[in-house]
Amino acid sequence: MSEHVLVTGGAGFIGRFVTDELLARGNRVRVLDSLIPQVHGQVDGSKMLSREAELIRADIRDGDAVAHALTGVDSVIHLAAEVGVGQSMYEVERYTSTNDVGTAVLFEKLIDRPVRRVVTASSMSIYGEGLYTDADGATVEDADRPNLRDGLTQWDPTDAQGRPLVPMATPEWKRPALSSIYALNKYVQERTTHIMGAPYGMESVCLRLFNVYGPGQALSNPYTGVLAIFASRLLNGQRPMIFEDGEQRRDFVHVTDVARAFADALTLPEAVGGTFNIGSGHHRSVRDVGIELARAMGKNDCEPEIVGKARIGDIRHCFCDTTLSQHRLGFAARQDFGEGLAELAGWVAEQTATDNVAQMRAELEKRGLVA
């Protein structure tokens, strides 16, 4: 089925791959993107965007521009958002305005210009801590680390008796535990999508993305994905900086797999009304990932710098249970992680980047957001 698809935020890292995937499937694509300097200053999304895509440069909060962008459109993939857990904790108005108000503007304009389906990008951050089991085998949905500011030697959550909890793959049924403004924003985007869909005759789908990586991320943006941040450090001869002890575990999924998931979610009947995890189904420690990327970039002498402090709003472990997305979307990640790192390293070697990680840490510490 070929359609005219609007991709908001379509000139960003994920958006460009989604656009290419949609075009490859025979769709017409219109992109609405504001090309903000924090994301596009180092990687010009407009220049990397396919020439087959139509670009409208405008803010998602600009109602007139959104209405114009929706003209003649059959479906929408909504990616436009400010991204970054740490920054969201002190640029609260900016994040909430772009993410929540921007989504509200989009759906308000969709009332008069309804489309067949809207697929919205959400985030694993809405889970807070992932799912755990305790020493008795009971499932724990509300694991918490309330004493981060006291200086921990034990970073992992424990139960009321002080026994360590064991992390498990996190399924969609886990209740949200919103530990940052960004997480709150993404949950609002999810609920807005589902609340506004059916009453106006539109199908709704939300995809909760885990740690997306691949070539084309904004290397100079210290609030982007962890692998891009590590790559920027290594490219500038610096060691990757890792908070806590580096043993926190995450699920890394390649951007081409994510793009395929969005394109499938736009068409599959089984996706309607659903919210789905999109990850690789494998978990790795952040420290190991930093070491592997350094090796892929030929920087074997750049062992990660373990900070031993926590960022307020960060979580310990969260990785992806892919059962539902496999069952309903037929989704399974295809990209081998080692091959994906090699591809990323090859792309990074041809780039230049400003290492802004120290500035990011200073901003967080100034506001008391590093424990």
Nearest to 219 by CA among 118, 123, 297: 297
Classify burial at 150, counting beta carbons within 10 Å of its beta carbon; exposed 0-12, middle 13-18, buried 19 or more: exposed
CA distances from 278 to 122, 124, 322 (A): 10, 9, 7
Nearest to 105 by CA among 54, 56, 67: 67
Q: Exposure pattern of 315-344 as b/e (b: 16+ CB <10 Å)?
A: bbbbbbbbebbeebbebebebebeebbbbb
CA distances from 305 to 230, 292, 309 (A): 11, 14, 11
Q: Which residues have CB under 8 Å from 36's CB, separation 6+?
A: none
Q: Which of 95, 127, 132, 182 is catalytic?
A: 182
DSSP string, 102-115: HHHHHHHHHHHS--
193-199's contacts with Cβ under 8 Å and 24+ in sequence apart are 193/78, 193/103, 193/107, 193/118, 193/120, 194/273, 194/275, 196/107, 196/110, 197/118, 197/273, 198/273
CA distances from 72 to 23, 259, 272, 341 (A): 17, 23, 22, 39
Nearest to 260 by CA among 208, 350, 329: 329
CA distances from 145 to 107, 310, 345, 371 (A): 37, 11, 35, 12
Active site residue 132: no
Q: Which helix (H) or strand (E) holds 363?
A: helix 357-366
What single-letter amino acid sits at 78?
H
Give the residue numbers marked as catalytic: 182
